[in-house]
Amino acid sequence: MLIDTHAHINDERLLPKAAEIHATLGEKGLESVVVVGYDRPSSECAVALSAEYERFYAAVGIHPHDSKSASAEDYDRFTDLCKLQKTVAFGEIGLDYYYDLSDRATQQKVFREQIELAHFLKKPMIFHVRDAYGDALKILKENAANLEYGGVMHCFGGSAEMMREFVKLGLHIAFGGAVTFKNFGKADVVKAVPKGRLLLETDCPYMTPVPYRGKDNLPEYIGLVRDKIQEWREDEDVEKITSENAVKLFNL
Ligand code: NI
């Protein structure tokens, strides 16, 4: 059975279909789905979904895009939500210099604050990093002691060398629909991830894999991600190792 470690069923495009998506997970070969928050309302929604549906788990946090709106009230709320058994991670948090929707100094400050909070709450973290691997690595190295409960570089798009730096910090590396794109060009990075650190995700409704480009992505399309990675890691059972890794990291 597969595990989707990064899905936004809390997105307005998928939320109306949550019951339907959940009902067919088993027949589509999925054991569970981690619903990831990106601000306070979406985190509350992720937790509500995890309470209502057996195979949904939640992560709470503020996306770098929304760093500028982060408040002490958000952190208090996340502290409460992390006491719930099905809140399995803190995220998605990180740095996004591609869109720069919050200024970089604010992104870095809020990233640091959330790393400390996640550690205090004893949660693994889900990292969103785009065009900012250098600064993210620097901040994570400074926070090495706060990475005790692990974490994952979601939708990893860096080099093999950069991947090894994150692995040295004890982190996992997740890949999604981008691996099916013609221009992906990072098969060597996927191949080089240590067996015990590889994870699968969809990031739905975004990052729809080939051949469903142009439609909303769904957890059920994760099989296409597995198939592509299986081609590159032919000596391993990709579904089995990634699911075992997810269960261990998130205590599912
Ligand atoms: Ni995401």
State the distance from the centre of ligand 1 to the C-alpha of 153, rounded, in angstroms. Answer: 11
Q: What is the pLDDT of residue 168?
A: 98
Residue type, 220: E
CB-count burial class (<10 Å; 0-12, 13-18, 19+) for 130: middle
Note the pLDDT tens digit of each residue in 116-146.
999 999 999 999 999 999 999 999 999 999 9
Structure tokens at 142: 């400074």
* pLDDT of res. 78: 98
How many angstroms is it from 155 CA to the middle of ligand 1?
A: 8
Report how far ligand 1's centroid is from the alpha carbon of 27 (Å): 24
Q: What is the C-alpha end-to-end distance of the chain, expressed in Å?
A: 13
- Distance of CA 203 from the midpoint of ligand 1 (Å): 5
pLDDT value for 209: 98
Tell me which residues of the chain have a pLDDT lower than 50: none
Is 217 within 8 Å of 230 (Cβ atoms)?
no
Q: Which domains does the chain have, with CATH numbers?
A: 2-250 (3.20.20.140)
Q: How far is the centre of ligand 1, averaged over its atoms, from the C-alpha of 242 (Å)?
A: 18
pLDDT of residue 147: 98
Ligand 1 centroid to Cα of residue 92, in Å, is: 7
Confidence (pLDDT) at 234:
95
6 CA to centre of ligand 1 in angstroms: 6
